[in-house]
Structure 1
Amino acid sequence: MSAEDAIETIIGRFGKYQIWIFFLITFGRFPTEYQLTNVVFIMPSVEYVCMDENAYNLTNHCPCANPQYDQSTIVSSVTSTWNLICEREQLASLTQSMLQVGILFGSMFYGQLSDRYGRKVACLLALTSEIVFVALSSASSELWMFIVARFFIGTAVGGTILCCYIIIIELSGKSFRPYLAGLIEISYALGYFTLPMFAYYLRDWRHLQLATSVPWAFVTIYYYLIPESPRWLITMGQKERAVQILTHIAKKNKRPTNNITTLVDRAVMESQTSSDKQHANYTDLFKTPKIRAYTLIIACVWMCCSHTFFGINQYIGRLQGNIYLNVIISSVSLMPGLVLVVLASLYLRRKTAVITSFVVAGVSLLVFIFIPADMRILELTFALIGQLGAHTAFVQAYLYSSEIFPTVVRNSAMGFASVFARVGGFIAPFVVNIGIQWVSIVIFTVLAFFAAFLCYFLPETKDIVLLNTIDQTEKSKELKTIS
C-alpha cells in the first residue's frame, strides 16, 4: 500500500473546512463533558444532622430517617432528594455507575451503527438524543426514573465520545493527527472548567441538568453542516459521494480539484482488492490474529485507564476545601496535559508516550497514600498529578487505538474497547466507597501499572497512513507487533 494519504493530498492536513467542523463538534460536545464530570455536584457526599429521636442531633449519624442536610454549598442534590445515605449509600454508587453502564451499551450500539450506516448519522443521533435524555432526567420524580434516564444519557455520551472523535480523525491528514490528540480534548477541558460556574449559581441539581442540556438543542441543524466521512465512503465503495464531498471540502480549503476522481479511484481499488466485507461487525475483531490480539489488549488498557481516571476524579471532589474551587483547579491542571500529549505525539513513539502517562499516574498515587491528611495542598497536588497522568493516558489511548485498527472496523473496535472502559468506570465508585482510602488507592495504582505493562505488546503506529481494511492491517509491516 502506498504511504501517501489520499485524503490529505486532496483536502489538506487540516484546512479551514476541518477547523469549522472541529469547532462545531467541540461546541456540540459540551453536554457530554458536563455529564462526565457533574457527579461531584449532582451526587456529592453530603453532610447532615440526624433529627431522629435518640439521635441527639448527631452529624452523619446512621441509621437516620429524618436527616437535615447542610445546604450551605449545594441546596439540592440527587443524594439529598432521595436520601442516599446510610444503608442507601450503595444506591448512590449504583446511580453514579449507571452512566458508565449506559456508555458501555452506547459505545457498542453507536460503534456498529457508525461502521454500518456512516459516521454522520451516528454522530448526530448521539448528540441530539443526549439533549433529550438529560432534560428528561431533570423531571424525574422517583429514583428509579432518574437511574433509567441516566442509563440513556450514558448511551448518548458513549456514542458522542466515539463518533465525534472518529469523524474528526478521518477528516484529517496523517501529519495532523498528533495535534488532534490534544485539540480533541479542548471540549472536555472547557466543559470541566465551566461546569463549577454553572453549579455555583444553580445549586439545584434539576436546574443544573437543564442548563447544561437544553441550550444545546441547536445541534439538530448539524445535519446540514457536518459531512459524511470520505474515508468511510471509500471503504464502502461509494465513490461518487466520496468525490462529491472531497470536491466540496477541497474548494473550501482552496485546493486543486482536478485529480480527485483519480485519487479516489485508486483508494477504492485498494479497499476492494482485500477480502474484507464492506459491512464489518464485532465478530470481525476476533477472526484474524493481529486484529484479535490488538482488540483484547486495547480493551484491557482502556478498562484500567478509565477505572483510574474516574476514581481519581471522584476523590478530588471529596478533598477538603471549597468544592467549586477544587474542581476549577482540577480542570486548569488538565490544560498543560493538552500541550503535553501534542508534544508526546509529535516527538515520542506512541507506545512510549502512553506508558509514561500510566507510570506518572501510578507513581503519584503511591505518593498520595503516604501524605498526611492535614497537608491538604500537597494532597491535592499529587491527586492532580495523578489525574493528569490518567487523563493524558486516556487521550493518547484514543489516538493510538484509532491508528491501530482499519477503517472498516475502527468504530466497532473503539466501541468494544469503550465497553471495557465503562466496566472500569462502573467499578470506580464502589472502589472509592470501600471506606479505607489506602486500599482504594492501591487498587487504582496497580491497574495503572498493569495498563502500562500491556502497552508493551502493542505495535508502533506513529506516522502511519490510516489503513482501510483488515487484510491491509494483517499484512502491514508497519503494524507488526513489537516484541
Structure 2
Amino acid sequence: MEVCPCSNPTWDRSVFTETVQTKFGLICDKKKEISLSETCAYGGMLIGAFLFGLLSDRFGRLMMFSISFVLTGIAGVAVSQSPNMQAFFAFRFFEGLGAGGTIVTSFVLLIEYTGLKYRETMTAVYHLPINLSHLLIAGVSYGLRDAFKFQLAISVPMFVFGLAVFFLNESPLWLLAKKKKERTVKAMQSIAKFNKKPDSSISADIDAYYYSTQGTQQEKIQLHHIFKYRRPTINLLCMAYMYLVCGMGYYGVSQYISKMSGKIHVNIAISAILVAPGTLLSIYLLNKIGRKPFLLSTNILAGAFMLFAVVVPSSFEPTWLKVLFACISNCFFFMSFILVFLYGVELFPTQIRTSALGLLSLLSRAGMMIAPQINNLNPTIAGYVFAALAVIGGVLTICLPETKNRELPSTLQ
C-alpha cells in the first residue's frame, strides 16, 4: 500500500485471518493505536498489582484472588466482543487490572500456604505453569488465527479459578495476623487433616501465640510505616530496583531476541523453551544456596552474557553465537525474576506483605513498559543498557539481608 490513507486496503491474512488492525482498519496514523492498546493492558497490570495487593492485605488473599480472576475473565470476553477501539482500550485496561491482581495474590497465597521446608521449591514450581502457558499460547494462536477467537479461548477458563473462594482455605498467616481465631483454627485443622497430622492442640497453640505476641505490635501497620525503620527502608528500595530491572531485563531481552527471526509462533515457542531450564535449575539452587549469592550471581551473569552478545561482531562465525549469548542472558534474567518474588515476600511482615509485593510488582510492570523503548534504541546501545542494569542490580544485592531458612516476619521490628 503506497498511498495513505487507502479507502480499500488489501490485508495480508496469511498468518492471521483477523487482527485488531484488520477489524478496526488501523492504517496510516491509526497504526499507533495498536501499541497504545498494549500500553493500556500493561498500565492496568501495573495498577492492578498494587491495588489488589492493598485490598488482599485488608480483605484477604483468597477473596481478592477469586475477584481478580473473574475480572480478568469478564474483561477478556469483553475484549473479544469490542465494537470499536475506544471500548477495546477500556476492556484491555481492565483485563490488565485483573491480571496484575492474579499474579500478586496467587503467589502470596502459595507462599503462605507452604511451610518453610518447601518454600524455595514452590517458588520455582510456581513459574513452571507460566513457562508452559507461554509455550501453549503459541499452539493456541497457531490453531486460532482469528485474534478475537483466540482472546475468547484464553479468557473463558479464568472463571473456573474465580470459584476458588468456595473450595480453598484463606491464608492461615493472614487470618492469624487479623486475629480471626475461629477461621484460623478451621483452616489449620483442614490443613492438618490433609497432611494427616494431629489437630487437637491447634486451638491452644494459637491462643499461646496470641498471648506471646501481646504488646509487640499495638497498631495496625501499613505500607508507609516501613520508612520509620532503616533496615526495612533499605530492603524496599533495593528490591524496588531489582523488580524494575527484572521486568525490564527479561521482557526487554526477550524482545531483543525475537527481532532475530520473523516467524512469530516459532519466536514465542523458542522463548518459552529457553527459560524452562533456568526454572528447573532454580529449584535446585534455591534449596542449596542463599538468596544473596543466588541473586548476585544471576544478575552479574545476565549482564555478562548480554555484554558478550553485544561485543561479538555480527559477521563472527558461527552467526548463532550472538543469539546464544542473548538467550543465556535472558535465562539468568528469568532466574532473577523467580528469586525476587520469593525474596520480596520474605523481607516484609504479614500485614503488609501483599501490599509490598503489589508495589514491587507495579515497578516490574513499569520495567516491562520501558523495555520496548530501550529496544527502539540502536541494538548495541540497548544491549549495553540491559547489561549495565543487571550488573548494578548484582552490586545492590550486597545491601540485602539473607532470609534463607528463616520464618516469614510478623512485625517490622
TM-score tier after normalising by the smaller chain length: over 0.9
After superposition, where does 1:151-170 map in structure 2 within 5 Å? 151-170=93-112
* Structure 1 residue 81: Cα displacement: 4.3
Conserved? CA contact 1:371–1:378, under 8 Å = no
The runs of 5 or more residues in structure 2 that have no matched partner are none
What is aligned with 2:78? 136
What is aligned with 1:455? 397
What is aligned with 1:288? 229
- Provide the secondary structure at the position in 2 that maps to 1:356: helix
Conserved? CA contact 2:26–2:33, under 8 Å = yes
What is aligned with 1:395? 338
* Structure 1 residue 86: Cα displacement: 6.2
What is aligned with 1:239? 181
Amino acid at match of 2:166: Y
Q: TM-score, normalised by structure 1?
A: 0.80
Q: Counterparts of 1:69 and 1:355 in 2: how far apart (Å)?
A: 48
Conserved? CA contact 2:246–2:337, under 8 Å = yes
1:56-83 CA deviation, whole Å, 9 max, x = no partner?
A: xxxxxxx664754433223333345456
Conserved? CA contact 1:182–1:338, under 8 Å = yes
- Provide the secondary structure at the position in 2 that maps to 1:228: coil
Q: Counterparts of 2:287 and 2:9 in 1: how far apart (Å)?
A: 55
Pairing partner for 2:278 from 315, 325, 337:
337
Alignment pair present for 1:420 and 2:339: no
Alignment pair present for 1:303 and 2:275: no
Amino acid at match of 1:256: P
Alignment pair present for 1:266 and 2:208: yes
1:235-256 CA deviation, whole Å, 9 max, x = no partner?
A: 1111221111101111121111
1:287-331 CA deviation, whole Å, 9 max, x = no partner?
A: 322222211221111111101111122233333153222321221
Pairing partner for 2:288 from 326, 344, 347:
347
Q: TM-score, normalised by structure 2?
A: 0.93
Conserved? CA contact 2:234–2:399, under 8 Å = no
**CA gap 1:449/1:68 in 2 versus in 1, 3 angstroms:** farther
Amino acid at match of 2:339: Q
Conserved? CA contact 1:333–1:384, under 8 Å = yes
Q: Counterparts of 2:376 and 2:24 in 1: how far apart (Å)?
A: 18
What is aligned with 2:124? 182
Conserved? CA contact 2:226–2:412, under 8 Å = no
Amino acid at match of 2:135: F
Alignment pair present for 1:95 and 2:37: yes
Conserved? CA contact 1:126–1:157, under 8 Å = yes
* RMSD after superposition: 2.2
After superposition, where does 1:19-418 map in structure 2 within 5 Å? 50-52=1-3, 65=6, 68-82=10-24, 87-88=29-30, 90-278=32-220, 280-369=221-310, 370-372=312-314, 377-418=320-361
Q: Counterparts of 1:101 and 1:309 in 2: how far apart (Å)?
A: 18
- Provide the secondary structure at the position in 2 that maps to 1:332: helix
* Structure 1 residue 371: Cα displacement: 4.6
Amino acid at match of 1:372: S
**CA gap 1:390/1:343 in 2 versus in 1, 3 angstroms:** same
**CA gap 1:430/1:85 in 2 versus in 1, 3 angstroms:** farther
- Provide the secondary structure at the position in 2 that maps to 1:178: helix
* Structure 1 residue 105: Cα displacement: 0.9
Conserved? CA contact 1:357–1:390, under 8 Å = yes
Q: Counterparts of 1:238 and 1:215 in 2: how far apart (Å)?
A: 32
* Structure 1 residue 362: Cα displacement: 1.5
Conserved? CA contact 1:96–1:429, under 8 Å = no
* Structure 1 residue 193: Cα displacement: 1.1
What is aligned with 1:44? none
Conserved? CA contact 1:51–1:67, under 8 Å = no
Deviates more, 1:453-462 or 1:314-323: 314-323
Amino acid at match of 2:321: L
Q: Counterparts of 2:32 and 2:226 in 1: how far apart (Å)?
A: 36
Q: Counterparts of 2:324 and 2:205 in 1: how far apart (Å)?
A: 52
- Provide the secondary structure at the position in 1 that maps to 2:409: coil
* Structure 1 residue 229: Cα displacement: 0.6
Q: Counterparts of 1:75 and 1:283 in 2: how far apart (Å)?
A: 50
Deviates more, 1:291-300 or 1:281-290: 281-290
The percent of aligned pairs where both chains have the same amino acid is 29
Q: Counterparts of 1:88 and 1:452 in 2: how far apart (Å)?
A: 42
**CA gap 1:144/1:358 in 2 versus in 1, 3 angstroms:** farther
Conserved? CA contact 2:111–2:123, under 8 Å = no
The runs of 5 or more residues in structure 1 that have no matched partner are 1-49, 53-62, 472-483
Q: Counterparts of 1:314 and 1:275 in 2: how far apart (Å)?
A: 46
* Structure 1 residue 264: Cα displacement: 1.6
Paired positions, count: 410
Amino acid at match of 1:433: N
Q: Counterparts of 2:64 and 2:174 in 1: how far apart (Å)?
A: 13
- Provide the secondary structure at the position in 2 that maps to 1:470: coil
What is aligned with 1:57? none
Structure number with higher helix proportion: 2
Q: Counterparts of 1:293 and 1:394 in 2: how far apart (Å)?
A: 19
Conserved? CA contact 1:119–1:163, under 8 Å = yes
